[in-house]
Copies of this chain bind each other. A is one copy, B any other.
Amino acid sequence: MDDIVIVFKERPSLREPILIEGLPGVGNVGKLAAEHLVDQLKAVKFAEVFSKFFPPQVLVNDAGTIRLVSNELFYVKREDYPNDLIILVGDYQGLTPDGQYELADRTLRMAKEMGVRRIYTLGGYGLGRMIEKPRVLGAATDLELVEEMKTHGVTFSKGEPGSGIVGASGLLLGLGNLYDMRSACLMGETSGYFVDPKGAQAVLEVLARILNVKIDFKELESKAEQIDMITSKLRETEPPPEPKREDLGYIG
């Protein structure tokens, strides 16, 4: 079989679409954000991506029917804007480094054919500690785009993320360079301990300003409250940790 199989349900004709990616990762921030965007903008599924770089697994839904693990592509037509949208979500990223490269490259090739020239990738930035008000950190393919992102409230902080960006959110930018695409990665701060709707909301608030769309956050907020309840219960059962000096720096 082909390494990657894209099954198109529809071949939409889109006006210079912007590609938005949100796949599983740290705190599932990118996936939560992109799926919420699909819901809010009533995006239409037009393609499914299957690949032997994903696990050999089917998922079973409540009715007892199965579906092969996949990535999915949705589109949004926007009459009053110069750019339509393509949104990439999915169950998994590629399992191996070469799988990651192949999947990102195949996505970029398809994006190029559909006229994409700009990509926003969404992800989490794991802090390893609880965070009250997550910032959105950024990285971009060029300095002009860095400046543009700053005007939308994205933080660019020297040495963050120190180890670079691993996985689809990074590769689509890095390989995208070879396809002449200008792109930015938006990373919501997250503890990384839980699925994090708060980090996802922070990312989406920035993206909403960039795309000039309105997004209702009620559902994400209610998910965040549930997570907060669980984590506060967990904290009650343990004594609070002594504040460390470096933590105090964030209280000011």
Give the B-binding residues of A (Cβ under 8 A): 1, 3, 5, 7, 50, 52-60, 62-69, 94-95, 97-98, 100-102, 104-105, 138-143, 146, 149, 156, 158-161, 163-168, 170-171, 173-175, 177-178, 185
Residues A62 and B159 in contact in the complex (CB < 8 Å), given A1-B101, A101-B1, A175-B68:
yes
Interface of A is mostly: mixed
Chain B residues closer than 8 Å to A101, beta-carbon distance:
1, 52, 56
7 interchain pairs (CB within 8 A)?
Answer: A1-B101, A5-B178, A50-B178, A56-B97, A57-B170, A58-B164, A66-B174
Task: Give the oligomeric copy count.
Answer: 4
Q: Residue of B at shortest CB range from A97?
A: B56
Q: How far is B166's CA from A95's CA once the two chains are assembled, in angstroms?
A: 15
Which of chain B's residues have a CB closer than 8 A to the CB of A3? 98
Q: Which residue of B lies closest to A159 (CB)?
A: B62
Set of chain B residues within 8 Å of A160, measured between Cβ atoms:
60
Q: How far is the CA of A203 from the CA of B142 in the complex (A)?
A: 37
Given contacts A3-B98, A56-B94, A66-B164, 10 further A-B contacts (CB under 8 A): A52-B100, A52-B101, A53-B97, A53-B98, A56-B166, A57-B174, A59-B164, A65-B140, A65-B142, A69-B174
